[in-house]
């Protein structure tokens, strides 16, 4: 079985669903002839034709509006924003319309669209190309927010997102687009949305993370294991709706929790997870919940970019701080 990168797994999932379901269409800037800025849609136009792989003008507002219209008329559009910093002109259509159709029509209509966007820092890109705005979308009722962390999870979760009857924001961590490969069978098997993935069992502390930071959390767990510390690693994957039960079960066992994300600390999804732990796991915890996050600044360009992102060393220190209690 050939091994693929995360970006190749995205292409594989798109091709599989387009072949399986003729209502699936792809649209965005340069997704057709050029195959997308990161080549996520390479080869799709040649295979499925320009009527199903639509090159749009440089107009994110129009892309989102067109996707909403298609979704309410029986199609399953997969719209691409070239970078996560370009999603904000789309936010009006997503927030005011896509996320509300099920509620607005009392279930008579849904809006089965997927908005894909490269997400996060770590590739020395300019301003508007390195943000992690997942908390803004995770705050919106009616949306699913999904961030894969590996080629296999990108493939399975994107299949599930396209098949979902409601709108899904699918952020792809560009830092690991081509960082490594793994075997991903093109078998059409979707992974479940709305659940966390426990990537490593542990007993002394729980690391909760998503996206590209999963790599550093696993590295931190390996480093701590060499010191005799057993760390459980959880990939949240679907940030909304949040599978808090898996996190609660882990924290009840380990009694300590460190939350890691590259978005700024204030108002991040990590704060929501910490709040739910305070509400439902206070008596399980023997240490305050620790957050290891990006700093409360815009991404510094370019020399300090990797200093901004949570490193393996910072994560290890976060775990040591919670271990110092109790």
Q: Is 283 exposed, middle or buried (0-12, 13-18, 19+ CB in 10 A)?
A: exposed
Sign of the C-alpha dihedral computed for residues 144, 41, 17 and 59 taken in this order: positive
Longest dimension (CA), the chain: 62
Spatial CB neighbours of 86, under 8 Å, sequence gap ≥ 6: 60, 117, 128
User: Is 251 within 8 Å of 273 (Cβ atoms)?
Assistant: no
Q: Is 275 exposed, middle or buried (0-12, 13-18, 19+ CB in 10 A)?
A: exposed
Pairing state between β 205-209 and 257-264 = parallel
List 129, 139, 261, 298, catalytic entry: 129
Question: How far apart are alpha carbons 114 and 81 in whole angstroms?
Answer: 11
User: Is 148 within 8 Å of 174 (Cβ atoms)?
Assistant: no
The secondary structure element, H or E, covering residue 61 is helix 60-71
Calculate the CA 148 to chain-centre distance: 5
User: Is 60 within 8 Å of 51 (Cβ atoms)?
Assistant: no
Question: How far apart are alpha carbons 91 and 237 in whole angstroms?
Answer: 21
Question: How far apart are alpha carbons 170 and 175 in whole angstroms?
Answer: 15
Decide if 129 is catalytic: yes
Please list the active-site residues.
129
């Amino acid at each position: 079985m050939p091994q693929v990168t995360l970006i190749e797994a995205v292409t594989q999932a798109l091709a599989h669903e387009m072949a399986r379901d003729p209502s699936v269409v792809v649209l965005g800037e340069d997704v057709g002839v050029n195959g997308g800025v990161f080549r996520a849609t390479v080869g799709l136009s040649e295979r499925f034709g320009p009527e199903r792989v639509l090159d749009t003008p440089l107009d994110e507002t129009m892309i989102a509006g067109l996707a909403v219209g298609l979704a309410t008329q029986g199609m399953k559009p997969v719209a691409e924003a070239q970078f996560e910093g370009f999603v904000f002109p789309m936010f009006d259509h997503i927030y005011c319309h896509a996320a509300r159709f099920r509620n607005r029509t009392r279930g008579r209509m849904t809006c089965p669209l997927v908005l894909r966007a490269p997400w996060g820092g770590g590739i020395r890109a300019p301003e508007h190309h390195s943000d992690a705005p997942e908390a803004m979308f995770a705050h919106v009722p009616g949306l699913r927010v999904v961030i894969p962390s590996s080629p296999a999870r990108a493939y399975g979760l994107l299949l599930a997102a396209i098949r979902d009857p409601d709108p899904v924001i699918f952020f792809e961590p560009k830092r690991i687009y081509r960082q490594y490969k793994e075997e991903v069978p093109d078998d059409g098997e979707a992974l479940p949305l709305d659940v966390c993935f426990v990537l490593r069992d542990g007993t002394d502390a729980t690391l909760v993370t998503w996206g590209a930071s999963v790599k550093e959390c696993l590295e931190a767990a390996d480093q701590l294991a060499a010191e005799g510390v057993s760390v459980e690693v959880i990939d949240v994957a679907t940030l909304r709706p949040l599978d808090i039960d898996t996190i609660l079960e882990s924290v009840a066992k380990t009694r300590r929790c460190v939350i890691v994300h590259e978005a700024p600390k204030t108002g991040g999804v990590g704060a929501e997870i910490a709040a739910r732990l305070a509400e439902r796991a206070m008596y399980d915890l023997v240490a305050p919940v620790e957050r290891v996050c990006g700093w409360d600044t815009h991404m510094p360009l370019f020399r300090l970019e990797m200093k901004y992102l949570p490193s393996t060393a910072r994560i290890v220190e976060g775990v040591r701080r919670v271990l110092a209690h109790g």
